[in-house]
Amino acid sequence: LVAMVYDTLQKVNAAQNKNIVFGISPFGIWKSGTPAGITGTSSYSQFYCDPIAWLQAGTVDYLSPQLYWKITGAQDYDKLSAWWNDRGAQYNRHIYPGLALYKMVDGTNNWEAAEIQQQINLNRQLQRPQVLGQAMFSTKQIMANNKGIKTQLQANQYRFASYAPAMHWKDNVCPNSPTHVKLDGDTLRWQAPLPASDGDLAKRYVIYRFDTDTEATTH
């Protein structure tokens, strides 16, 4: 089923010059005992879902494992996030762990907002290059700003806007950079580039650095 969905999307992409991505959010433990020290329900033997097989076959672009546990313990978020990162690196696919914001208000766990913030900080460690973001379950807690989570994220972890990371196996041809970039007083000017070899044009521009001694460095 997973392979059929993925293959169908590739046909749509080819026919319509698109790059639709496909991912799945599996249960957060692949097999109980993996990695060492982790115990709990097994996606493989109890839900009959094998996300590692999907990675091996290349039939997903990303996984968003449901890591709905705290840091430390028998379902340690830290260990699980690192393990999924390594699987993503092994098979060249992105990992976006699912974070359990609902456990701040479920009446049983009563997590503090700091737990979610700490999990995001772990995701961003240099040792986890394939963890390229996170999914929130659910957005209800953000919209309601439960325990100040929205305020805290906006002031800290999500202070700056960012773009979704590129998936080079989907499309490795970048749009051409703009030309004749210069600072004219307090106005930045440039000329739109020609289409790339696959016909794509840039939809927006991002300034990473501006050097007034020369002209500019943009991408």
Over the stretch 148-165, which tens digit does the pLDDT of each residue have? 999 999 999 999 888 888
pLDDT of residue 118: 98
pLDDT of residue 210: 61
Beta-carbon contacts of residue 54 (< 8 Å; ≥ 6 apart):
2, 24, 60, 63
Q: At what angle do helices 77-91 and 113-123 cross, to 10 degrees?
A: 30
pLDDT exceeds cutoff 60 at 218? no
pLDDT of residue 23: 98
- Residue 85 has, within 13 A of its CA and on its CB side, a CA count of 19
| Mean pLDDT, rounded, of the chain | 92
Over the stretch 14-33, which tens digit does the pLDDT of each residue have? 998 888 999 999 999 999 99
pLDDT of residue 173: 87
